Structure 1
Amino acid sequence: MRTARLRTVHPVLWAGWAALAAGAVLCVLGWYGISGERFAERQLPYLASCTVPGAALIIAGAVLLTHGRNALAAARVEELYGLLVAADPADADESGQAAAAPVAVSGDLLMVPGGTLWHRADCPLVSGKAEALPVDSRVLAGGELDPCPICEPAASDARSSGADG
């Protein structure tokens, strides 16, 4: 999935760099041709054949590079979003639709030092992190942390699990 999107982006980036390089070469050739001519009427052919198309290629290359980088960033964001919310195909019921199971169901609550959210222990954002600590009930009561929007722990989970630090 990722490589297919990246294969369509790389030619745009290469085309952008090629257009920039060709435009720069044409501008240099046009400048060199103009610099050797004393009269304006003899400079116009260099402007028309080298400098103007060179400037147009530079602009086109900049547009292609911007588009390619935006497409690359969008593909990466889409891939990360897909990894975050993708449902496992094994969870599909007989009708072919994914079951609406919660992301995390653990009663144990964790927080990451310096973080702004509290999570269930099996939340994908904290599972496997060695720095995750049990949530202190004083921190929850003080309102210093917000519940995670991914695993959606409730305040009743904190009271029932006895999170006290």
Structure 2
Amino acid sequence: MRTGRLRTVHPVLWAGWAALAAGAVLCVIGWYGVSGERYAERQLPYLASCTIPGAALIVAGSVLLTHGRGALAAARVEELYGLLVAEEPADADESGQAAAIPLAVSRDLLMVPGGTLWHRADCPLVAGKVEAVPVDAKLLTSGELGPCPICDPAEETG
């Protein structure tokens, strides 16, 4: 399930890489031209026509890459959020609000060894995982494990 935003991010990344490459080529051409001239007044055209635009393209490419990677990360976070959160049911009541359906309602509490959260057995984060084990009461009372923010098992036990 890819979002439409991912398709618009890749051209920005390609444009960033292209601008970086073109800027590097221009800087090399400018450096080569400057290095072949002995007098400063003969070096200025190479600086003005190659090196300065090359440096500007490198800066623009860096900005495009930074923006593209940030947008790509935001699109991935939105995609993961969409996978974790249940969508609204189709039948909404008259006030326009959907009836709240809890994600997990089981009373059995599980944890993943080495994890930091405890979950209900039907929580999407541990459902179907063979390594999930029942929560030890000592771990709950010691505070080593926190409640899962997705299935919120603390409201039943707390």
Residue aligned with 1:2, SS: coil
Specify every segment of 5 or more residues in structure 1 that has no aligned partner in the other structure, as ranges. 159-165
Q: Percent identity?
A: 80
Q: AA paired with 1:22?
A: A
CA distance in 2, matches of 1:19, 1:85: 39
Structural mapping, 1:1-165, within 5 Å? 2-90=2-90, 92-95=91-94, 97-154=97-154, 157=157
Conserved 8 A contact 1:20-1:62 = yes
Farther off after superposition, 3-12 or 136-145: 136-145
Conserved 8 A contact 2:3-2:79 = no
Farther off after superposition, 56-65 or 77-86: 77-86
Specify every segment of 5 or more residues in structure 2 that has no aligned partner in the other structure, as ranges. none
TM-score, with structure 2 as normaliser: 0.89
Instruction: Give the C-alpha shift of residue 138 in structure 1.
Output: 2.6
Instruction: Give the C-alpha shift of residue 156 in structure 1.
Output: 5.4
Q: AA paired with 2:113?
A: P
CA distance in 2, matches of 1:55, 1:61: 10
Q: AA paired with 2:136?
A: D
Q: AA paired with 1:58?
A: I
Farther off after superposition, 7-16 or 132-141: 132-141
Conserved 8 A contact 1:26-1:54 = yes
Distance 1:142 1:155, change over 3 A: farther
1:111-130 residue CA offsets vs partner (Å, 9 max, x unmatched): 11111221110011110110
CA distance in 2, matches of 1:76, 1:156: 32
CA distance in 1, matches of 2:86, 2:39: 68
Instruction: Give the C-alpha shift of residue 88 in structure 1.
Output: 4.8
**Could you list the runs of 4 or more consecutive aligned residues of structure 1 that deviate by over 6 angstroms after TM superposition?**
none
Would you say how many aligned residue pairs link Structure 1 and Structure 2?
A: 157
TM-score, with structure 1 as normaliser: 0.86
